[in-house]
Amino acid sequence: MAKSKKSLKSVNTNKSNASTAEYRFGSELIVIVKPEAGLQATSDGIASIKGADTNPLSKLLKSEKISMQPLFGASEERLKLEADSLSPSSETKIPDLSIYYQIVAPEEKLEDLAILLLRQDIVEAAYVKPPGEPPVLKGDASTMLNDMTPSEIDAPPVTPNFVLRQGYLDAAPGGIDARHAWTLAGGRGNNVNIIDCEWGWRFNHEDLRQNQGGIVAGTGSTADDHGTAVIGEIGGDINAIGITGICPDARVSAVAFSMPSATAIREAANRLRPGDIILLEIHRQGPGASGAGQDGYIAIEWWPDDFDAIRYAISRGIIVVEAAGNGFRNLDNAIYNVRPSGFPASWTNPFNRSNRDSGAIVVGAGAPPPNTHGRNHGPDRSRLDFSNWGALIDAQGWGREVTTCGYGDLQGGTDKDLWYTDTFSGTSSASPIVVGALGCLQGMLRAQGRIPLSPARAREVLRATGSAQQDAPGRPSSQRIGNRPNLRQLSALVLQTNFWVGVQFRGTIPAHQTQRWFTFNWPAHWHIIWTVVPTNPRPGGPQIKWRVQVERASDRFITYWINITNVSASPVDIEARFAVLGW
């Protein structure tokens, strides 16, 4: 292979701290107004449809020469109608996105503006979010992850097949057993849509041309190796060259963080169906961060607007997979319970799901099997030092040695569309592995005409199966990052069916009376038929009638309300029978 005539500098577009700045959207000043204010942003300024006094806020905006825009793009009225349209069929309470606004102002003024905005009577909260970044760094610039140096050697005429280097595809416990999933109908992710939310991608890459949807919202960054690597893990093409994605038949698209992160999440959610998947490849500086690299960076659901944007996606039945972050932090630490100045008074720490639950699946980074690519990062499935940990974390993926598209250290040269890497790392590389596993499962279920996994069911099956986390010196398994997915176990669990009948309750209905029972905690993915029958014979005419009403009590559970009416002149003994027709 001939050596490129170009200098290394001309092809190495991502190896520097400066390149990290290319990912940043910048700090965001978010304002939450009180719902009772009925605020609306118009071309003439702000107004209230409920008669609230908006003059002080209008004067502040004018004096500071700044604008206030609905964070989620659409008008307040449209956002409310959107939420109302979801409510009858939603699995969870719909967040009110119409009360969120963004202040557009120079970054150096944001903190002072937040203080001024908090003095306004109609303002509930005003806070500045640090810039979001992909989970790519370790503690400081000298220990960066994903700072691979592209090879100067031009790629050969035909790219070799690197699939055998993708150990994460292998059988458990070392991999997730994607190859087993591929033997099952739909197991390559057929009829599943996935959107990766981050910064930049190369959808012209030679291994990303079959089922890719491109950037569907936002403007992609020129810093595109990270997104290219993520997309390769999930949906790399089936061919004789390069790599193969975990669910290569899924359609993978992208939404760019050239807009506020919460806005991007809603944009992605509105393009997907129940059972589809959003991946959030972003974290940001949390409380107690040292300022060295990404030390102290945390999952973005800690911020109110991102939390509610995730909840909005979950309410649409969309699975959200969220990187836990490379912050070296215990997310169970009490520091995350402290409400920051400017957050709503009602805010509680979402890392403690007993407070409130975003519904997302949060992913940590585990070590690959020792000697992968000749390197050792500790015991297989042990927590890597940079990965955040805690009770919040649902599952882990490989956080080192991931072979995929981009970066150019495995195959480089002058054409970035031919670049591959052997060393993609971080919760960045771990999260797409979990997304890929879920894509396989949803494809299997859809291929059988079954209901796809709900967000809560997806989290439940990931936690109930998999290859267990292992101890490492100084990093015990009690520092939870969860199990590594095992698609052989997962497919058996989600594809199983069972049929049985039973009696749920008995009772007596007085003559010409109606009584109501309820029965709760029925798994939402079960198919249930109810019938009610009299148990004391009385020939000559009908004795009872009944009506079943259904409540989606949560993402996971159904409550059935059964109204039974005695249409006869005598008391009637009844029993309510159920039939489970599979799940």
The predicted-structure confidence for 306-322, as pLDDT tens digits, reads as follows 999 999 999 999 999 99
Asked if 324 and 364 count as a contact pair (C-beta separation under 8 A), the reply is yes
Model pLDDT, residue 12: 36
Q: Name the β-bridge partners of 426.
A: none
Give the pLDDT confidence of 368-403 residue by residue, as tens digits: 999 999 999 999 999 999 999 999 999 999 999 999
Is omega for the bond preceding 134 within 30 degrees of 0, making it cis? no
Average pLDDT over residues 233-242: 97
pLDDT at 479 over 50: yes
Domain 499-581 has CATH 2.60.120: yes
Which amino acid is it at 201? W
CB 412 within 8 A of CB 151: yes
d(CA 247, CA 233): 9
User: Per-residue pLDDT for 62 more than 70?
Assistant: yes
pLDDT at residue 193, as a whole number = 98
The predicted structure's pLDDT at residue 315: 92
CB 247 within 8 A of CB 211: no
Provide the pLDDT confidence category of residue 143 given band limits of 50, 70 and 90: low
Q: Give the Cα separation of 527 and 558 in Å (integer).
A: 11
Residue 90 has pLDDT above 60, yes or no: no
Mean pLDDT of 146-154: 92
Confidence of residue 141 (pLDDT cuts 50, 70, 90): very low
pLDDT tens digits, 414-432: 999 999 999 999 999 999 9
SS3 at position 419: coil
Cα distance between residue 207 and residue 315, in whole Å:
34
Q: Compute the distance between CA of residue 398 and CA of residue 415 in angstroms, rounded to an integer.
A: 27
Per-residue pLDDT, averaged over 68-84, amounts to 87
- The per-residue pLDDT of the chain, averaged, comes to 92
Question: Residue 158 has what pLDDT?
Answer: 97
Asked whether the predicted pLDDT for residue 10 surpasses 50, the reply is no
Distances (CA, A) of 287 to 28, 327, 553: 16, 11, 34
How far apart CA 77 and CA 81 sit, in angstroms, is 6
pLDDT digits (tens, 9 = 90+) for 483-504: 999 999 999 999 998 888 999 9
DSSP annotation of 10 reads H
User: In the predicted model, is pLDDT for residue 8 greater than 50?
Assistant: no
| CB of 281 closer than 8 Å to CB of 198 | yes
Q: What gap in Å lies between CA 350 and CA 192, rounded to an integer? A: 29
Give the model's pLDDT for residue 140. 52
More confident residue, 252 or 42: 252
Residue 123 β-bridge partners: 33
In this structure, whether the domain defined by 141-495 belongs to CATH 2.130.10.10 is answered with no
Q: Can you give the residue ranges of every domain in the chain?
A: 24-129, 141-495, 499-581
**Beta bridge partners of residue 503, listed in sequence order:** 577
Q: Indicate the pTM of the whole model.
A: 0.90
- What dotted CATH number matches 24-129? 3.30.70
What per-residue confidence (pLDDT) applies to 513?
96
